Amino acid sequence: MTYAFGGPEEYHGKDMWKAHEKLARGQGLNDNHFNIIVKHLVGALQKFNVPEVIFQKQSQMCSR
């Protein structure tokens, strides 16, 4: 999240598919779950009046 919001930390971990592959293949994790998280996140950002340009970038990164 810090990385997605332009913070000093850089993310060098697995891409989102690799990180969640076991869960997707074995436990039914799917796009809906990710979309729900992004929806809640965007809702929270809107509630606190975070400029749209910032959270658009953030949700693009989460959907990779």
What residues line the site for ligand HEM (CB under 6 A)? 13-14, 19-20, 22-23, 29, 33-34, 37-38, 62
Whole-angstrom distance, CA of residue 5 vs CA of residue 55: 8
Helix axes 52-62, 31-47, angle to 10 degrees: 160
Which lies closer to ligand HEM via its Cβ, residue 37 or residue 54? 37
Whole-angstrom distance, CA of residue 28 vs CA of residue 24: 5
Which lies closer to ligand HEM via its Cβ, residue 38 or residue 50? 38
> Minimum Å distance from CB 53 to ligand HEM?
19
